[in-house]
Amino acid sequence: MIRRELLKAMALASAATAASTLVPGVAFADLPEETNTDVQWKKTPCRFCGVGCGLLVGVQKGRAVAVKGDPACSVNKGLACVKGYHSIQVLYGNDRLKKAYVRKDGVMVETPIKDALDLVASKMKETISQHGKDAVSIYGSGQWTIPDGYCASKLFKGCIGTNNVEANARLCMASAVTGFLTTFGKDEPMGCYEDIDHADVFVTWGNNMAEMHPVLFSRVLDRRAKKPGVEIIDLATRTTRTSHAANHSFLFKPQTDLAVANAICHELFEKGMVNEEFVKKYTAFKKGKTNIGYGLEDGFAFKDKMESIDLKEFKTFLADYTPEKVEVISGVPASDIRYMAKLFGDPRKKVVSFWCMGANQHTRGTWINNLIYNIHLLTGKISQPGNGPFSLTGQPSACGTVREVGTLTHKLPYGVVMKEAARRKAAEIWNVPYENIPSKPTYHTVEMFRALDRGDIKFMWIQVTNPMVTMPKLNRYRPGAQKDGRFVVVSDIYPTPTTDVADVILPSACWIEREGMYGNSERRTAHFEQMLQPPGEAMSDTWQLIEVAKRLGYSKQFPYTPKDHIEQIYEEYRLFHKGKTHNMAPYEVLQKESGVVWPYVDGKSTLWRYNSKYDPACDATKDFDFYGKPEGKAFILARPFEDAPEKPDKEYPFWLNTGRVIEHWHSGSMTRRIPTLHQAVPEAYVELNPVDAKAMGIKHGEGVKLVTRRGKIEMPASVGGRGTPPEGMVFVPFFDENHLINNLTLDAFCPISKQPDYKKCAVRVEKA
Amino acid sequence: MSAPKASPGCAVGILGLFMIVPFVVAHWVEDSFHHDPGGHSTALKTLLNSPLEKKTAPMVVPDPVEGAKVRTLREFYSRRAYPGAPPVIPHPAGREDLMGDSCLTCHAQGGYVPKYNAFTPLSPHPEKSNCRQCHVPQSGKAKGFVSNWSKVNPPKRGQSAMGGSPPRIPHTLQLRENCASCHVGPSAVEEIRVSHPERENCQQCHVPRTTQELFRSSLGKKVDGR
């Protein structure tokens, strides 16, 4: 008490001196101050990652001027990350595309957008009449809004009649989708972010969450700070900020996560930690094909076949994966594997698994997704608050637009093209003849770019994505797109290496310059209104598609009005998802709320699916009901460890791993135009292990040459920087178009999901 | 009164010794993720409805070091993309492989740093440890890309409702609920240092412009009634 009084007195004395000039009401002369603070705050999901933070954007005099986290949004509760806080700066780059451009004699010529849209439509007609419907294609993204993707699918699949619809989400979450479908029969996570606030253990599977999903990771850290004993386990191939923040970091050799997951299951059985009642009631054991290939050759085809097995056979399968055997394969000590199994198996602990690109960009991506589910199913730790496998996504609407609208070759807004019922439903809602929609999928993304290279596809329209930075093995696909007889239309907001290969560039409205919706990782659909006018002749991707559809003669299918088209499209789209398993919230609800989680049934979001306590779609007589599979039983799948297609060898002795940094988004076409972010990480670099760097005499900042079977590149070394790869691995972020690392990567993919593996190929490292 | 003794790197000042950081942390963390479907997080509501006293440390002001550099308001805003943006890290930022745990060694405590001849600015939210989630250093090496971004002017100070009445708080309190961290002490920007730090219950007299700041516009119409 005495000290307190003393301190107060001290404070009074010193502060009075220090602040004697501060007189309320008197402004200081040298700094201009805002007298008109009439800033309007409007809600929107963030433009960047799949976390889907709610932001409030301050708009003043027709410009976005400030950002804060939306306290009303349960995702982030008022917090954002450096990308979100600076997101609005992306609107104001000096080189914003404001006009359309058309290539004439090799030169891009500014053209009125109406004329450019005329040309796009006439080129499509011409291509279809000369080469057939499957010669035209559209390639979009998980940054498409829901109405963008919906219009693309309706135009191409419904009206034109081709399944040549793909999106870059194929490169980022296709394995998550096939993982869900093979195990549960229904896509997207069963739980929600609220799981974080209940869990005792977090396991990140090849997921640098501290940088890639920072706001969620902060929520994890808050949970750990609040509850004693909460642990974070980082299971990774490279030491990252997440590893340092975790309680334990276990490094495995690339690709061997498959073996580690199976070893955890082995140990669960060995130590009697399997939840036998749950397994008996709610799961079925299955196996699929093995030695399934890598898709390296054009036209590669694969179809999995599920067979039932019994518990005994499953245990026999696991016999190859004792912790000791897997220690040899993976490099993870058997004691650490047992430690993880104990955490999963402890009935008193609630466990959440997180993963993203490490598991998905994987030539056995579907399998590793399945294997993580196996662990949660064997322990019954699923579909309950604090217990669940949670597949994170990378893009703001990878779930909303690509998975839910179904902008992939085999998908429709509800169901797959192979199913007659799904085609009939789509034809009815779209007001097109049933026969229009082909029953066979055509090209997945890698194969679509191969088809463009071969000339099977002549016309490609690319929206909201930058494949000439993000496709693997670019040294094949860039020249492929530039060949004679190919016509490439690119809708974007800035010039990029992809607009460099375009024949027509359409200027797009960005994010809050138009109205739209995104859907995040936890099944949350979030709406944003148009807050600003797009610059020049820039037009939303949705409206570009509508304009072209009208020019192709589909006015009847695209009767939307400029003022209300987003509401009209969304309400039409919602018809696909009626019912308790997938119902979407009505437009008016989306307008009011900071995102709404589906299934939205009787005015209420379903936060935990498959649990009859929370999910009205379940058979109420059972505690759990995995209604996507027969008898409500999820599949526990025997998936073996199979090695990567290209491993380090004598000639190319290192692993090449690629990824992101917190400051930059994907190909950097947006974040590099945000001054704060660009200045933070101005260029790409190659991370080396200090031991390797020393052996080669390479110091931090010095030039390094990387060579793979596909290409070579020079860039500065990073030693002791942000991340540290183990000996024998290098890591390169892919955001920098001046250092196109994807010239070097391999286009091998998971045969089930067709998602390429950007994390593993063999590289030679030399001092430049 | 004597100045805090300098120590290598970051000296912990008197301020640091008596800042009851854990107290602040416990309250904020406890509330920060309770969802309130009606609107604001419980944390914010609590903040707005309860005396600030519980949430802030005693406002203790060490004597400034003779000749120590003090940030001007202009410098303060130059580190932010807009008023209210997370400031960039203006000094070499140490180990890049950490999320920023080491930042708090200085920025949760405060104190005089001989190396910079200045007092460490205090974080108003030291309970958040993933510092580099929002705060990033600037290399100054980036080339290309010109931005037409224009900063809005900072809010006017001293906005009294009536002549002579206590000015309102002109900024949001999100992540900045601890008034003392920025408005009290030798690390505070001189122009915004408070003249009466001994009166701890700031919001007894200073009212945030909350309606406009904290309520979002709904359906394109402002709902703050202004």
Q: Do A354 and A240 have their domain in common?
A: yes
* pLDDT tops 60 at residue A685: yes
- Please tell me which residue, A167 or B211, carries the higher pLDDT value: A167
With contacts defined as CB-CB under 8 Å, which chain B residues touch A43?
Answer: 216-217
Q: Identity (one letter) of the amino acid at B212?
A: Q
Residue B184 in domain: yes
Residue A564 in domain: no
With contacts defined as CB-CB under 8 Å, which chain A residues touch B198?
Answer: 8, 11-12, 15
Mean pLDDT for the stretch of residues A594-615:
97
Task: Count chain A–chain B contacts defined by CB atoms under 8 A.
Answer: 278
Residue B129 in domain: yes
- The pTM for the full model equals 0.89
Provide the shortest C-alpha distance from residue B115 to chain A (in Å).
Answer: 22
A401's tokens: 């637009």
Provide the 3-class DSSP secondary structure of residue A614.
Answer: coil
Q: In the prediction, which pLDDT does A37 show?
A: 56
Mean pLDDT for the stretch of residues B72-84:
93
Provide the 3-class DSSP secondary structure of residue B113.
Answer: strand
Q: Which of A62, A92, A122 is the last residue of a domain?
A: A92
- Please tell me which residue, A738 or B203, carries the higher pLDDT value: A738
Those residues whose C-beta lies under 8 Å from the C-beta of residue A765, and which sit 6 or more positions away, are A653, A654, A686, A688, A692, A696, A704, A705, A706, A730
**Rounded CA separation A158/A764 (Å):** 48
In 3D space, the residue among A704, A743, A214 whose CA is nearest the CA of residue A468 turns out to be A743
Those residues whose C-beta lies under 8 Å from the C-beta of residue B157, and which sit 6 or more positions away, are A24, A27, A28, A33, B167, B170, B191, B192
Residue B77 in domain: yes
Q: Do A310 and A237 have their domain in common?
A: yes
Provide the 3-class DSSP secondary structure of residue A111.
Answer: strand
> Using the beta-carbon criterion (under 8 Å), do A4 and B58 form an inter-chain contact?
yes
Q: Do A663 and A735 have their domain in common?
A: yes
B154's tokens: 């900072």
**Banded pLDDT at B209 (limits 50, 70, 90):** low
**Cβ proximity of A145 and A518 under 8 Å:** yes
Burial B94-108 (b: 16+ CB within 10 A, else e): eeeebbbeebbebbb
Number of compact structural domains in chain B: 1
Give me the domain span that covers residue A229.
Answer: 174-395
B219: left (phi over 0), alpha (psi -120 to 50) or beta: left
**Rounded CA separation B184/B194 (Å):** 6
Mean pLDDT for the stretch of residues A430-454:
97
Q: In the prediction, which pLDDT does B64 show?
A: 58
* pLDDT tops 60 at residue A721: yes
> Using the beta-carbon criterion (under 8 Å), do B134 and A82 form an inter-chain contact?
yes
Q: In the prediction, which pLDDT does B63 show?
A: 56
Q: Locate the chain B residue with the closest alpha carbon to A17.
A: B195
Provide the shortest C-alpha distance from residue A226 to chain B (in Å).
Answer: 7
A491's tokens: 């809708």
Say yes or no: A524 contacts chain B, CB-CB below 8 A: no
Q: Do A128 and A228 have their domain in common?
A: no
Residue A51 in domain: yes
**Rounded CA separation A702/A699 (Å):** 6
In 3D space, the residue among A66, A28, A40 whose CA is nearest the CA of residue B156 turns out to be A28
Which of B20, B145, B146, B150 should one mutate to test binding to chain A, selecting the residue with the greatest count of A CBs within 10 A?
Answer: B145
Q: In the prediction, which pLDDT does B18 show?
A: 36
**Rounded CA separation B132/A361 (Å):** 26
Q: pLDDT above 70 covers what percent of chain A? A: 95
**Cβ proximity of A308 and A283 under 8 Å:** no
Say yes or no: A378 contacts chain B, CB-CB below 8 A: no
Strand partners, A324: none
Residue A516 in domain: yes
**CATH number of the domain residue A467 falls in:** 3.40.50.740
* pLDDT tops 90 at residue B225: no
pLDDT in tens, A89-140: 999 999 999 999 999 999 999 999 999 999 999 999 999 999 999 999 999 9
Q: In the prediction, which pLDDT does B197 show?
A: 87
Q: Do A462 and A349 have their domain in common?
A: no
Residue A156 in domain: yes
Residue A512 in domain: yes
Q: In the prediction, which pLDDT does A620 show?
A: 96
Provide the shortest C-alpha distance from residue B141 to chain A (in Å).
Answer: 7
Provide the shortest C-alpha distance from residue A535 to chain B (in Å).
Answer: 12
> Using the beta-carbon criterion (under 8 Å), do B58 and A31 form an inter-chain contact?
no
Q: In the prediction, which pLDDT does A23 show?
A: 28
Q: Do A195 and A344 have their domain in common?
A: yes
Q: In the prediction, which pLDDT does A448 show?
A: 98
A691's tokens: 């031991």
Number of compact structural domains in chain A: 4
Nearest CB among A20, A24, A89 relative to B158 is that of: A24
* pLDDT tops 90 at residue A16: no
Q: Do A358 and A496 have their domain in common?
A: no
Distance of CA A435 to the CA centre of its chain: 33
With contacts defined as CB-CB under 8 Å, which chain A residues touch B59?
Answer: 11
Q: Do A211 and A318 have their domain in common?
A: yes
Mean pLDDT for the stretch of residues A670-697:
97
Mean pLDDT across chain A, nearest whole number?
Answer: 94
Provide the 3-class DSSP secondary structure of residue A167.
Answer: strand
Q: In the prediction, which pLDDT does B154 show?
A: 84
Say yes or no: A591 contacts chain B, CB-CB below 8 A: yes
Q: In the prediction, which pLDDT does A211 show?
A: 97
Q: Give the number of C-alpha atoms closer than 13 A to the C-alpha of residue A614, restricted to the C-beta side.
A: 18
Q: Do A414 and A552 have their domain in common?
A: yes
**How are the residues of chain B apportioned to helix, strand and coil, as percentages rounded to the nearest 5?**
25, 5, 70
> Using the beta-carbon criterion (under 8 Å), do B154 and A33 form an inter-chain contact?
yes
Provide the shortest C-alpha distance from residue B32 to chain A (in Å).
Answer: 7
* pLDDT tops 80 at residue B224: no
> Using the beta-carbon criterion (under 8 Å), do A663 and B58 form an inter-chain contact?
no
Residue A590 in domain: no
> Where is average pLDDT lowest: A279-283, A317-321, A390-394, B209-213?
B209-213
pLDDT in tens, B136-177: 999 988 888 999 998 888 877 777 767 778 888 888 888 998
Longest Cα–Cα distance in chain A: 92
With contacts defined as CB-CB under 8 Å, which chain B residues touch A682?
Answer: 139, 141-143
**Cβ proximity of A43 and A528 under 8 Å:** yes
**Rounded CA separation A565/A580 (Å):** 26
Give me the domain span that covers residue B40.
Answer: 1-138+176-200
- Residues of A marked active site are found at 83, 172-173, 357, 394-395
> Where is average pLDDT lowest: A26-40, A514-528, A610-624?
A26-40
> Where is average pLDDT lowest: A618-632, A666-680, B110-124?
B110-124
Nearest CB among B98, B136, B197 relative to A244 is that of: B98
Burial A693-703 (b: 16+ CB within 10 A, else e): beeeebeeeee
**Rounded CA separation B28/B44 (Å):** 9
Residue A242 in domain: yes
Q: Do A159 and A252 have their domain in common?
A: no
Those residues whose C-beta lies under 8 Å from the C-beta of residue A517, and which sit 6 or more positions away, are A145, A146, A147, A397, A400, A525, A526, A527, A528, A566, A570, A590
Provide the 3-class DSSP secondary structure of residue A286.
Answer: strand
Residue B60 in domain: yes
Alpha-carbon separation of residue A496 from A98, A391, A511, B47, B183 (angstroms):
14, 30, 18, 46, 45
Residue A220 in domain: yes
Which H or E run includes A703? strand A703-707
pLDDT in tens, A451-479: 999 999 999 999 999 999 999 999 999 99
Phi/psi for A173 (5° steps) reads -145, 15
Mean pLDDT for the stretch of residues A12-34:
35
* pLDDT tops 70 at residue A79: yes
Q: Do A181 and A112 have their domain in common?
A: no
With contacts defined as CB-CB under 8 Å, which chain B residues touch A245?
Answer: 99, 101, 130
Q: In the prediction, which pLDDT does B62 show?
A: 52
**CATH number of the domain residue A86 falls in:** 3.30.200.210
**Banded pLDDT at A296 (limits 50, 70, 90):** very high
* pLDDT tops 70 at residue A4: no
**Rounded CA separation A224/A221 (Å):** 5
Mean pLDDT for the stretch of residues A34-62:
88
> Where is average pLDDT lowest: A243-257, A265-279, B29-43?
B29-43
Dihedral of the CA atoms B14, B16, B17, B23 (nearest 10)? Answer: 140
Longest Cα–Cα distance in chain B: 57
Q: Locate the chain A residue with the closest alpha carbon to B160.
A: A25
Alpha-carbon separation of residue A697 from A238, A690, A703, A730 (angstroms):
22, 10, 11, 15
Q: Do A87 and A160 have their domain in common?
A: no
